[in-house]
């Protein structure tokens, strides 16, 4: 198989070593993916102004809401592909690959149309200040015009990761990440395009990464090779993907919805709070990277090993991932918390912006270890083909409890700390729920029942 050295077989070998070998490229990939928005914020904050920084930052929750649903479908695709790959069912694997790519194209077109039309209305719903509205709308519309490149890349990279190749997606993101930074500087400083420039730079770099991943998939000799003429929906595979992807997509959208509510509360404190929270969010995204790669590795490990019938490796892999996650988030999160002031100052030198940024960054980064059980165990449960339980736990804790907290607490304590405290509060509660469900073993019993039935994947 072409590129065999880049593929990690998670069904064999020392578990912790295989997870680390698979996860490290994922961590670096996520890091470079975060560079898109971080580079946008750094450039506009330093070379355009604080209003432009607030405009770019205010769009994050909206793009997360809309793209989150698609990313959930991508999760469903990855689980199905991993299970068929682990079971060595290459006929179903090939159909899964082409159905997943058809899904990416369809969603990219729909998201582009919906995003361009609804951008100003969504920003108004979030109580975006008037002095930020025009620039935020411009950035968001340009971003959505090129969003099909993002959906295609993420599905393509997801296919490679599902079969154990986490290295090539990293290489492509390094190339596109560097391209994004260079184009940001050229479009903003040389051509003076402002927020439009950083949006165009993002699109160009995303197009490059999508072309690279498609080229790889169409030229591999592996059983997951993509044939452009065969991209179409297979009803059976699409249903299997939907069983996992729809609940995961709804879960992601619901969490993003709660983040929009949080952003609307932040907006009430003015543009300085928006700027500070935006800068904090960019840095926190890099801290989240230390956990997200671990969760993705756990999902793939679970799906491949369950497909191969190796349930003991699933449990050992889960314990290993939790320990790695706790160590990584405490180390990186606390370093970021202690270094909050110089980190925020990279984005702005305005004292009020720095004040709000430090508050947000320290609260979120230094308590992020509470989210470890949520992220890892949700990955395990979804990897087994059960996406309904993670959706329910997340909807209750990450959305309902979070919004309820803001509705009850804000009228009594109109304080910025009340808003950011909603994060550790709901992270801890969600992790507790996931841990209880995992230890009871209902997810594994469900898999065993389904595994007895031939070719049945998904809940």
Q: Is the pLDDT of residue 294 over 80?
A: no
Which range in 180-184, 229-233, 398-402, 455-459 is most confidently predicted, on average pLDDT? 229-233
Q: ∠ at Cα 263 (262, 268), nearest 5°?
A: 100
> pLDDT band at residue 106, thresholds of 50, 70 and 90?
very high
> pLDDT band at residue 41, thresholds of 50, 70 and 90?
low
Q: Is the pLDDT of residue 192 over 80?
A: yes
C-alpha span between 242 and 73 (Å, rounded): 7
pLDDT of residue 212: 95
Q: How many CA atoms does the CB half-sphere of 60 hold within 13 Å?
A: 25
Q: Is the pLDDT of residue 2 over 50?
A: no
> pLDDT band at residue 9, thresholds of 50, 70 and 90?
low
Per the CB < 8 A criterion, the answer to whether 139 and 51 are in contact is no
pLDDT of residue 375: 86
Q: pLDDT exceeding 90 applies to what percent of the chain?
A: 20
C-alpha span between 438 and 441 (Å, rounded): 5
Please tell me which residue, 173 or 320, carries the higher pLDDT value. 320
Please tell me which residue, 67 or 87, carries the higher pLDDT value. 87
User: How many Cβ atoms are within 10 Å of 411's Cβ, its own excluded?
Assistant: 8
Residue entry with tokens 């044939």: 227
Contacts of 143 (CB under 8 A, 6+ apart): 59, 63, 115, 199, 202, 203
> pLDDT band at residue 1, thresholds of 50, 70 and 90?
very low
Q: Is the pLDDT of residue 454 over 60?
A: no
Q: Is the pLDDT of residue 137 over 60?
A: yes
Mean pLDDT, all residues of the chain: 82
Per the CB < 8 A criterion, the answer to whether 431 and 371 are in contact is yes
pLDDT of residue 194: 82
Q: Is the pLDDT of residue 74 over 80?
A: no
Q: Minimum mean pLDDT among 23-32, 163-172, 258-267, 445-454: which range? A: 445-454
């Amino acid at each position: 198989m072409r590129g065999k050295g880049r593929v990690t077989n998670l069904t064999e070998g020392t578990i912790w070593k295989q997870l680390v070998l698979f996860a490290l490229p994922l961590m670096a990939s996520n890091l470079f993916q975060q560079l898109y928005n971080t580079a946008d914020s750094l450039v506009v904050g330093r070379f355009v102004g604080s209003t432009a920084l607030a405009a770019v930052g205010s769009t994050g929750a909206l793009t997360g809401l809309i793209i989150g649903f698609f990313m959930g479908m991508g999760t469903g695709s990855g689980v199905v592909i991993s299970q068929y790959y682990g079971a060595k069912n290459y006929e179903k694997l090939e159909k899964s690959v082409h159905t997943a790519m058809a899904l990416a194209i369809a969603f990219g077109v729909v998201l582009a149309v919906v995003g361009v039309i609804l951008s100003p209305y969504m920003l108004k719903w979030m109580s975006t200040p008037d002095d930020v509205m025009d620039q935020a709308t411009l950035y968001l519309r340009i971003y959505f015009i090129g969003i099909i490149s993002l959906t295609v890349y993420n599905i393509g990279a997801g296919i490679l990761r599902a079969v154990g190749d986490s290295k090539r997606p990293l290489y492509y993101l390094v190339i596109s990440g560097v391209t994004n930074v260079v184009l940001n500087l050229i479009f903003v400083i040389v051509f003076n395009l402002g927020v439009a420039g950083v949006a165009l730079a993002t699109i160009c770099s995303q197009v490059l990464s999508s072309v690279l991943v498609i080229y790889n998939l169409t030229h591999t000799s592996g059983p997951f090779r993509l044939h452009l003429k065969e991209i179409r929906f297979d009803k059976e595979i699409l249903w299997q993907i939907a069983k996992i992807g729809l609940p995961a997509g709804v879960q992601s959208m619901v969490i993003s919805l709660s983040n929009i509510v949080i952003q609307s509360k932040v907006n009430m404190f003015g543009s300085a709070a928006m700027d500070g929270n935006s800068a904090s969010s960019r840095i926190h995204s890099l801290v989240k990277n230390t956990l997200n790669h671990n969760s993705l590795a756990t999902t793939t490990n679970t799906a491949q090993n369950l497909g191969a019938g190796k349930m003991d490796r699933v449990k050992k892999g889960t314990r290993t991932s939790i320990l790695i996650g706790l160590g990584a988030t405490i180390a990186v999160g606390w370093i970021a918390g202690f270094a909050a002031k110089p980190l925020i100052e990279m984005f702005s030198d305005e004292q009020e912006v720095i004040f709000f940024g430090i508050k947000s960054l320290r609260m979120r980064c230094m308590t992020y270890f509470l989210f470890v059980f949520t992220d890892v165990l949700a990955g395990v449960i979804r990897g087994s083909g059960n996406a309904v339980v993670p959706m329910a736990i997340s909807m209750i804790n990450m959305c309902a409890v979070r919004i309820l907290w803001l509705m009850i607490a804000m009228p009594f304590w109109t304080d910025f700390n009340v808003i950011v405290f909603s994060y550790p509060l709901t992270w801890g509660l969600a992790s507790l729920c996931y841990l209880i469900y995992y230890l009871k073993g209902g997810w594994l019993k469900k898999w065993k029942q389904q595994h007895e039935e031939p070719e049945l994947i998904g809940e």
